[in-house]
Amino acid sequence: MHADTPYDDLTPDLVLDALEAVGQEVDGRLLQLNSYENRVFQVGLEDGQFVVAKFYRPGRWSDAQILEEHAFANELVAAEVPAVPPLTLQLAQGREASLQGTPPTLGFFKGHRVAVSPRRGGRSPELEDPEVLTWLGRFLARMHAVGAQRPFAHRLTLDVDHTGRSARQWLSDSDSLPMETRNSWLAVTDQALDLCQQAFDRVSGLQMRRLHGDCHPGNILWTPQGPHFVDLDDACMGPAVQDFWMMLSGDPRDRQIQLNALLDGYESIGEFDWRELKLIEPLRTLRIIHHSAWLARRWDDPAFPAAFPWFGSGNYWQQQIDLLRQQIEIMQTPDDQPAWMQG
């Protein structure tokens, strides 16, 4: 298996054989679902049910990091927080991988690591509805209460060094940056990261807890019983507000209304440190930088050039420079709060 194309051998037959190998009685129905980082499939079982199989990208997470994701999902379910837990698998002798006291949830087959979970349906949440946002706020508060009970031992911490500077350094060391924009991008990135660090430093005693980490509308499914998350792949240690800001959209007035509804729900369940609102734009800035490095790191995977054909051009990097300059201007406003949060 070629290192740059880790899924070349992941044929339908191999997917079905892998599921059989970890104890799932498949019936041949198979549908690939949208996913760039991993490969995810809906698989039919002989009893008529469906499961979702996730094949983890080699080299991205260690076994221990994946198992912490699984353990967090199980903790949420135990606390009656809606989440999709991994199924217990039948592993070949000698290939057990589990955290102490937890069932085996990570399978191994012909060089691939796989997890299996029940299929859960739902639709995208209507984020323009304040009642939906209030419900989501309560949901996040319950998840964060579980997340605050203990730290991750192996998963990443969302901070300026791990999320921003490491991405900046990787791009600087690679050949991804075109010569005509390289120096400008590096300079504006350094300035933006310095401002991000200053913002984090000003929130003294910042509580870092286990989070979803990638809480955008595409990772939330809504049912009549309320919301649930479908993917904890980016679960990390970080400030609570990380799970808020990606749900805010529209003009400044819309974003303020959305934020107020989320916080109303959140604070009906738990406490929120309002100082963390000053981290929204720094967190957005870190994601912008990290996203560029993520695309560059994955460019040898054929799925990425097909999905992101605009990446890597001179125009792309100039747009990133302009975007980071806008973020610098926002972060230099009084109290690090953009205009839409000052009214």
- Active-site positions read 214, 231
Please count the other Cβ atoms lying within 10 Å of the Cβ belonging to residue 101: 6
Long-range contacts from 174-178, C-beta under 8 angstroms, 24+ separation: 174/296, 176/296, 176/299, 176/312, 177/317, 178/312, 178/314, 178/317
21 within 8 A of 93, measured Cβ to Cβ? no
274 within 8 A of 316, measured Cβ to Cβ? no
Rounded CA-CA distance 286/162 in Å is 10
Rounded CA-CA distance 154/151 in Å is 9
Q: Which SS3 state, helix, strand or coil, does residue 47 take?
A: coil
42 within 8 A of 52, measured Cβ to Cβ? yes
Phi and psi dihedrals of 173, rounded to 5?
-80, -15
Strands 50-55 and 220-223, by their bridges, are: unpaired
Phi and psi dihedrals of 199, rounded to 5?
-65, -45
Q: Which two three-digit tokens encode residue 299?
A: 């460019």
Q: Which two three-digit tokens encode residue 111?
A: 């060089």
Rounded CA-CA distance 138/152 in Å is 23
Rounded CA-CA distance 289/70 in Å is 28
Find the radius of gyration of the CA atoms of the chain.
Answer: 21
Rounded CA-CA distance 188/21 in Å is 50
CA angle 314, 320, 322 (to 5 degrees): 105
